[in-house]
Amino acid sequence: MALLPVLRKVSAPASRKYLAAEGASVVVNYASSKEGAEQIVREITNEGGKAIAVQGDVSKTKDVEHLFAETKKAFGRLDILVNNAGVYQFGALEETTEDQFQRQFGINVFGLILATRESLKYFGPDVGSVINIGSTITSVAPPATVVYTATKGAVDAITRVLAKELGPRKIRVNSINPGVVETEGVHAIGLLGSDLRNKQSLKRRWVASANRVTSHPPSVFLASADSAWITGELLQVAGGLR
C-alpha cells in the first residue's frame, strides 16, 4: 500500500490514480482540507481502488504517529511512502520572517524527516520505497525564493543521505523534482505567466520523463520493482503547467 502525505487541496493527480490502478491501497493525508482529500479518495474508490483519508500535520510528531497507525489499521502494511506535503511563500530577502522560515522548513523538511523516520517502523523486511517531492527550483534558483529554494535543496541532500543510510535495510530513497505544477497556490500568487515560470520552463533539464522511463508517472515507476536498482536519484521531470 502507499501513503501520500499532501497538504494543499488538489484534485487527484494521475500518480495516485495509477498507484491505485496498479493495486496500491492509498492513504491520503491532509492538514485542513478534508473536502479535497475526500475527493481524491472518491475518485480512487469510484475506479475500484482502495483509499482512505487521514488528518494530520506532518510537522508534528504525534500527528505523524497517528497517520501511520491509521495506515496499519486500515491496510496492515506499508510499501511506499510519498513525501508530498509542502508549502511555499515567495518574497524579497528583506520581507523574510521567522514565521515564514519556521513554517516552510517545519513542513517541507522536518515533516519529511518525521514521516520517513516513522515509516521505518512499518516497512516490511523485504523492500520499501520512499519517494520525496523536490523541485527544479534548486537549479533555477530565482530571486525572491530564498527560503523555499533552501527547503528543496535540503530535500535533495536528505534524499542522498538517506539512500545510503537506509539502503542496507532494503529501503530505497529517491526524489522527483518537477518544474512548476499547477495548483491553487500557484494561481493565488500569480505565478502563471510570470518570469519565474518562464525561467523554469527554459532552464528545466529533462533528465528523465514519464514517457522515457515508463508509460506511468515517475512516482509509479519509482515505487515499482522495475526501479529496484535505483536509489539516491533526483529525477527531474516536466511540470504540470500547460
**Residue 190 pLDDT greater than 80, yes or no:** no
Tally of domains within the chain: 1
pLDDT mean over 219-233: 90
Contact partners, residue 148, CB within 8 Å, separation at least 6 = 88, 89, 90, 104, 108, 137
**Residue 189 pLDDT greater than 90, yes or no:** no
C-alpha cell belonging to residue 193: 505567466
Report the alpha-carbon distance of residue 131 to residue 31 in Å, rounded. Answer: 20
pLDDT score recorded for residue 182: 54
Contact partners, residue 229, CB within 8 Å, separation at least 6 = none
* pLDDT tens, residue by residue, 135-182: 999 999 999 999 999 999 999 999 999 999 999 999 999 999 998 665
Report the alpha-carbon distance of residue 223 to residue 35 in Å, rounded. Answer: 27
Report the alpha-carbon distance of residue 115 to residue 62 in Å, rounded. Answer: 11
* pLDDT tens, residue by residue, 101-148: 999 999 999 999 999 999 999 999 888 999 999 999 999 999 999 999
CATH number at 94 reads 3.40.50.720
pLDDT score recorded for residue 237: 84
In this structure, what are the phi and psi dihedrals at residue 181, rounded to the nearest 5 degrees?
-115, 135
Contact 54, 5 (CB under 8 A): no
Domain holding 177, by residue range, is: 2-237
Structural domain includes residue 77? yes
Strands (E), 78-213: 80-83, 128-133, 171-178
Structural domain includes residue 242? no
Active site residue 148: yes
Structural domain includes residue 220? yes
Instruction: Look up the pTM and report it.
Output: 0.81
Q: Which of 18, 30, 122, 148 is catalytic?
A: 148
Structural domain includes residue 98? yes
